[in-house]
Amino acid sequence: MTRDDVHSTFRTRLARPRDTPTRLALATLVGSDRFWGGLFLVLPFLALAATRVHEAFVPFAAGLPLGLCLWLQWLSHEFVAPEVAVDSAAATLTLSKPYGNGRYSPVDAADIDRVSIVQLSAIALVRLRYRRRGVSKPAATVIPSSGVAELRSRLAAMGFDAPVRRFEPRPAAVTRLAADPAVVRIAATPLAFLGYVGALSHLYGPRAFVTDAVVVPLVVLVIFGCYSAVWRFRLRRERRS
């Protein structure tokens, strides 16, 4: 982290293979709880209901899990090597694009509706909610946990009170953690995937998944995953050199 009187820059690196589960877990926390419920619970339920109306909806329903996986993978790419620059004098945040391909245009504080932070042991997820829909900026980024106080100070100077939700890995906090909405979302996402695929397989058998609606997103998912692995390897090699 670097800083001066009005600027702070936060850098994080989650490029190792063992960081993949962390990045995917963080991706499940992007957006509100209502948004997550609509995407991973309501939408699959509606897709299954549509297949009972007419089997023409079966290919769409079969391809839906892969579409959601691709979306999570895309979100997780924002967490590989992010950089967040905060200028409290100009009231702007500047986020880096994935894999060092430059930066997004600065985000004005006037365009941000709310900022919230989910703090883990070593890193913290910063969630941004914009006032306008369709803003082509990341909905979240990550910073080192050591920089949370500094970030909140910069945000307070810009007029934001960023609440922090902290995870406490102590045994005494296990019961409270199990009821935390963030923990529920992380645990429920793979269960929702497995339950949906199992229900679709039970209703229509393996033939439901032998369609272009499944093959095409699967190919895209594999290509995207290979690209991610190659670029993350390059990032690690540059760091070692």
Mean pLDDT of the chain, nearest integer: 86
CA distance 51 to 161: 45
CA 2 from chain centre, in angstroms, equals 25
Q: Taking Cα atoms as reference points, which of 133, 125, 37 lies closest to residue 75?
A: 125
Count the Cβ atoms, other than its own, within 10 Å of residue 123: 23
The shares of helix, strand and coil residues in the chain, as percent rounded to the nearest 5, are 60, 20, 25
Of residues 178 and 58, which shows the higher confidence score?
58
Among 76-90, 160-174, 212-226, the least confident range: 160-174
Share of the chain above pLDDT 70, in %: 90
Torsion region of 100: left, alpha or beta (phi above 0 gives left; psi -120 to 50 gives alpha): left
Q: Is the pLDDT of residue 202 over 80?
A: yes
Strands (E) across the chain are located at 2-3, 7-11, 83-87, 92-95, 107-108, 112-119, 123-130, 140-144, 164-166
Which string of b and e fits 68-85 if b means at least 16 CB within 10 Å? bbbebbebbbbbbbbbbb
Share of the chain above pLDDT 90, in %: 38
16 Cβ contact partners less than 8 Å away, ≥ 6 residues apart: 232, 236
Q: Is the pLDDT of residue 26 over 50?
A: yes
For 161, list phi and psi in degrees, rounded to 5.
-105, 95
Q: Is the pLDDT of residue 193 over 60?
A: yes
Q: Is the pLDDT of residue 142 over 90?
A: yes
Q: Is the pLDDT of residue 135 over 80?
A: no
Q: Is the pLDDT of residue 140 over 50?
A: yes
Q: Is the pLDDT of residue 42 over 90?
A: yes
Residues in the chain: 241
Q: Is the pTM of this model over 0.95?
A: no
Is the CB of residue 36 less than 8 Å from the CB of residue 185?
A: yes
